[in-house]
A and B are shown apart, each in its own frame.
Chain A
Amino acid sequence: MKKTKDERRALKVNRRTLLKGTLAAAAATMLPLNRADASFSDFWESFFQKHFREMTEAEKEKVVARLEKEYEEKYKIAIKVGIEPAMPGVLFGYGLDLSRCIGCRTCEYACVAENNQSIDPQIHWIQVLRFKKEDPKFPDFEHAEKYYNAALAPQPGYFYMPIQCQQCENPACTRACPTQATWKEPDGIVTIDYNWCIGCRYCMAACPYGARHFNWGEPHRAPQDINPNTHYLGNRPRYRGVVEKCTFCIQRSRKGKYTACVEACPVGARKFGNLLDPNSEIRYMIANKRVFRLKEDLNTSPKFFYFFDFGGTR
């Protein structure tokens, strides 16, 4: 009996140290703190950081200052985290000319360069699918190819369809999220607070377009490859265990610039603008081209319009 008692104590101690180990490991690796020497107040503030939409302007400034400090210590370069709000009277919309797209994936890589996605493990916000033209089953995604060799594109007999977040007006993802960590901004951009997301991935199950990507491992990116002009809701460096996706380059579009993909596309297949402005290019395109949206039957009402121009693939 005595022996079992001792054994039990040993077991208990063991279990306790194990538990402590786990908690320490969990705390060290899961908290959005990237430094071992973080002060207690930083730790506290980071852990109890409020939801972005609940913060006052002053609180936002403070959080941004702390984040910038954290990023600088981690990446050894100065990173600017913007919090520009939506501009009034703006609802962003996107157009993609399928008859022009040549499947070169320039947009895909321009996006990665602009938006600080993890290089290893690899995260791409844009997927380009290749369809066989004579395939009677189009538009059946089961017959699309995601892993074609872009260096050989365009190839005769195929057409290409880039897919990214469709910035739905009625998004499935924001409805799913149990913590309101993802929501639609007044300018129509669906955003994520990377410091509020718990990583349950229900939004990924809900999104009909495979637009959301999870940081399965610690995101890695060389400091010299980091784009230092960021936005809190957009391309600032992310954490492991949170979801991310295309934000229409919120750090650019809210300053009146085109998105990186629009600028990069070598054939001008991509259009971007304000849906509320009757004179915008995007409105012209919707009014005058043959336009469709993906999976319209789901009533997600994407603000991402695919269209065909005259003729076929060039």
Chain B
Amino acid sequence: MVQATKNFFIAWLSIFKGGPKYYLWLAFLACLMGVGVYAYIGQAEHGLIMTAMRDQVSWGFYISNFTFLVGVAAAAVLLVIPAYVHNHQPIKKIVLFGELMAITAIIMCILFIMTDLGQPLRVWHILPPPIGMMHWPTSLLAWDVLVLNGYFILNVIIAFYVMYKYAHGEHYEMKSVIGFLIYLSIPAAISIHTVTAFLYNAAFSRPFWSASILAPRFIASALCSGPALMLLVFQVLRKVTDVEIEDKAIFRVATLITYAMAVNLFFLLAEVFGSFYPGTAESVNIHYLFFGIDGQTNLVKYIWTAVACNVTAFVLILNPKTREKFATLNFALVLMIVGIYLEKGMGLVIPGFTPDVLGEIYQYTPTATELLVSLGVWATGAMIYTFLVKFAIPIHTGKLRFASGEHAVTAKRAVIDDVTSEKA
């Protein structure tokens, strides 16, 4: 058992072995990460004044990205439910890669929070006593820390346990503890996005965020963008690695996305109507978002691009003919990701602050520092996912199997070399 566990970790060395293309990809990501680190050093040196955020708009691009990525993390349920609850075999085969993406997305969420903090080294103050002074259950941010970490740990345990079992040629029992954890991960996924929506709801001084449809809309949009991102990544995976992903699985998920998008657009309509029609003072933020105020139209381009993307994507994915053709499907998926990235990011966080609580309009546009640091975080996420997937694929395809017992020690080197030599 001890030896087997050791082997499992030694097998991680395989992530550093690959063909020239693999190294090129890593080098590319490392460059982007370097750019991000460089920009972050500038921010660490001068403070958040390097960003475009000010007292009027006190959260910006970082928190926008955070919000989007919570959605990506939560979206793994769209694979978990058909895979485990409905036992849909083609999806069951790929659910692992969804869970790994959830893990990656949460790490990125944490990175975005860290880059946004004014005093990042004090982040431990948020831990529960006796270490920190976590303000639980009152502060929604404390809740968010709790559920995000809980969901992260849950996914790490599930994904690694499943891989460990596979690597030893075994299967896991849904009736065991791990089965329970897998079921638990479903409400946990919903909870992370719900709590994040409540975090905005709770700031009751910002009418733009107080719609009670915010949380349902968060979930609906997350179930579009997250799986869309996964489907694109899966297609890349099956192209550049020997992992098999059936078309059936992809189209099944695409169908699910269609439902989610229909619900999402419906919720959007409900929210826009509810906020617009009364024309009360509370409508001013949504007015600024969609039309601008007195010629100050900073966000208008983002939101209408988002609407156009989402509607076009919906039309393409609704029609079975275009949904089941990869060219049009992928186009729809890209549109969907762009649309929801804009809508959940710039279209949600910034208009909450514009106009601010004293009616001032501060037009926020992210600075180069913010863009580059964010690019760095995205590259870090891509790197982490690459490593996770690189490790998981040989286990998934059955190339990496540990012998148990005495031969294990001698076997391990051979196994690793074997696995890695076959990689591109």
Binding site for B on A (CB under 8 A): 4, 7-8, 11, 15, 18-19, 21-22, 25-27, 29-31, 47, 51, 54, 121, 127, 129, 140-144, 146, 163, 172, 175-181, 196-202, 204-210, 212-218, 239-243, 295, 298
The reply to whether B281 and A140 form a contact with Cβ atoms under 8 Å apart is: yes
Q: Does B154 contact A (CB under 8 A)?
A: no
For A206, give its contact among B123, B203, B281 (CB under 8 Å): B203
Chain B contacts with A in 33-75, Cβ cutoff 8 A? 34, 37, 40-41, 44-49, 51, 53-56, 58-59
Given A198-B126, A205-B352, A218-B46, A177 contacting B139 (CB threshold 8 A): yes
B residues less than 8 Å from A176 (CB atoms): 139-141, 202-203
The reply to whether A178 and B357 form a contact with Cβ atoms under 8 Å apart is: no
The reply to whether A207 and B118 form a contact with Cβ atoms under 8 Å apart is: no
Bound complex: CA of A198 vs CA of B411, how far in Å? 49
The reply to whether B118 and A146 form a contact with Cβ atoms under 8 Å apart is: no
The reply to whether A216 and B357 form a contact with Cβ atoms under 8 Å apart is: no
Given A26-B44, A176-B141, A241 contacting B118 (CB threshold 8 A): yes
Minimal beta-carbon separation of A235 from chain B (angstroms) = 19
B residues less than 8 Å from A298 (CB atoms): 204-205
Given A179-B134, A239-B119, A209 contacting B358 (CB threshold 8 A): yes
The reply to whether A8 and B205 form a contact with Cβ atoms under 8 Å apart is: no
The reply to whether B118 and A199 form a contact with Cβ atoms under 8 Å apart is: yes
Q: Does B252 contact A (CB under 8 A)?
A: no
The reply to whether A215 and B118 form a contact with Cβ atoms under 8 Å apart is: yes
What are 22 A-B contacts defined by CB distance under 8 Å?
A8-B16, A8-B23, A18-B37, A21-B41, A25-B45, A29-B47, A142-B359, A144-B358, A176-B140, A180-B135, A198-B122, A198-B123, A200-B141, A201-B118, A206-B202, A207-B205, A207-B357, A215-B118, A216-B48, A240-B118, A242-B118, A298-B204
Given A4-B23, A199-B117, A163 contacting B125 (CB threshold 8 A): no
B residues less than 8 Å from A217 (CB atoms): 46-49
Bound complex: CA of A182 vs CA of B134, how far in Å? 12
Residue in B55, B58, B119, B140 with the greatest tally of chain A CB atoms within 10 Å: B119
Bound complex: CA of A199 vs CA of B59, how far in Å? 11
For A202, give its contact among B27, B49, B139 (CB under 8 Å): B139
The reply to whether A215 and B47 form a contact with Cβ atoms under 8 Å apart is: yes
The reply to whether B46 and A200 form a contact with Cβ atoms under 8 Å apart is: no
Bound complex: CA of A181 vs CA of B141, how far in Å? 13
For A199, give its contact among B55, B56, B119, B358 (CB under 8 Å): B119
Given A30-B44, A127-B358, A204-B55, A196 contacting B133 (CB threshold 8 A): yes
Minimal beta-carbon separation of B321 from chain A (angstroms) = 45
A141 nearest in chain B by CB position: B359
Given A21-B41, A146-B360, A179-B133, A15 contacting B30 (CB threshold 8 A): yes
B residues less than 8 Å from A51 (CB atoms): 125, 133
Q: Chain B, 340-363, contact with A by CB distance < 8 Å: what is the 0/1 string?
A: 000000000000110111111000
The reply to whether B141 and A178 form a contact with Cβ atoms under 8 Å apart is: yes
Bound complex: CA of A310 vs CA of B5, how far in Å? 82
For B357, give its contact among A8, A21, A22, A208 (CB under 8 Å): A208
Given A179-B135, A215-B118, A241 contacting B48 (CB threshold 8 A): yes
Q: Does B399 contact A (CB under 8 A)?
A: no
Cβ-closest 8 pairs across A and B: A199-B118, A241-B118, A141-B359, A208-B205, A217-B49, A178-B141, A216-B49, A142-B359
The reply to whether B134 and A141 form a contact with Cβ atoms under 8 Å apart is: no
The reply to whether A201 and B58 form a contact with Cβ atoms under 8 Å apart is: yes
B residues less than 8 Å from A26 (CB atoms): 44, 120-121
The reply to whether B47 and A196 form a contact with Cβ atoms under 8 Å apart is: no
A residues less than 8 Å from B45 (CB atoms): 25, 29
A residues less than 8 Å from B118 (CB atoms): 197-201, 214-215, 240-243
Bound complex: CA of A276 vs CA of B27, how far in Å? 68
Minimal beta-carbon separation of A163 from chain B (angstroms) = 7
Chain B contacts with A in 132-159, Cβ cutoff 8 A? 132-135, 138-142, 145
A residues less than 8 Å from B113 (CB atoms): 200
Bound complex: CA of A200 vs CA of B16, how far in Å? 36
Q: Does B116 contact A (CB under 8 A)?
A: yes
A residues less than 8 Å from B58 (CB atoms): 201, 204-205, 214
A5 nearest in chain B by CB position: B16
Minimal beta-carbon separation of B44 from chain A (angstroms) = 5
Minimal beta-carbon separation of B83 from chain A (angstroms) = 34
Bound complex: CA of A217 vs CA of B365, how far in Å? 18
Q: Does B382 contact A (CB under 8 A)?
A: no
Extra inter-chain contacts (16) besides given A121-B49, A196-B133, A206-B202, CB under 8 Å: A11-B30, A25-B41, A25-B44, A30-B44, A141-B359, A146-B358, A175-B138, A178-B134, A181-B133, A197-B118, A202-B203, A205-B352, A209-B357, A240-B118, A241-B118, A295-B205
B127 nearest in chain A by CB position: A179
Minimal beta-carbon separation of B362 from chain A (angstroms) = 10
Bound complex: CA of A214 vs CA of B356, how far in Å? 15
Bound complex: CA of A129 vs CA of B27, how far in Å? 54
Q: Does B206 contact A (CB under 8 A)?
A: yes
B138 nearest in chain A by CB position: A175
B residues less than 8 Å from A25 (CB atoms): 41, 44-45
A residues less than 8 Å from B286 (CB atoms): none
Minimal beta-carbon separation of B360 from chain A (angstroms) = 6
Given A176-B202, A176-B203, A178-B135, A47 contacting B357 (CB threshold 8 A): no
A residues less than 8 Å from B281 (CB atoms): 140, 142
B18 nearest in chain A by CB position: A4
Q: Chain B, 161-186, contact with A by CB distance < 8 Å: what is the 0/1 string?
A: 00000000000000000000000000
B145 nearest in chain A by CB position: A178
Bound complex: CA of A204 vs CA of B281, how far in Å? 21
Bound complex: CA of A206 vs CA of B141, how far in Å? 12
The reply to whether A141 and B142 form a contact with Cβ atoms under 8 Å apart is: no
For B119, give its contact among A140, A175, A242 (CB under 8 Å): A242
Q: Does B309 contact A (CB under 8 A)?
A: no
A residues less than 8 Å from B203 (CB atoms): 172, 176, 202, 205-206
B16 nearest in chain A by CB position: A8
Bound complex: CA of A298 vs CA of B207, how far in Å? 11
Bound complex: CA of A57 vs CA of B140, how far in Å? 32
B40 nearest in chain A by CB position: A22
Bound complex: CA of A204 vs CA of B284, how far in Å? 20
B residues less than 8 Å from A241 (CB atoms): 47-48, 117-119
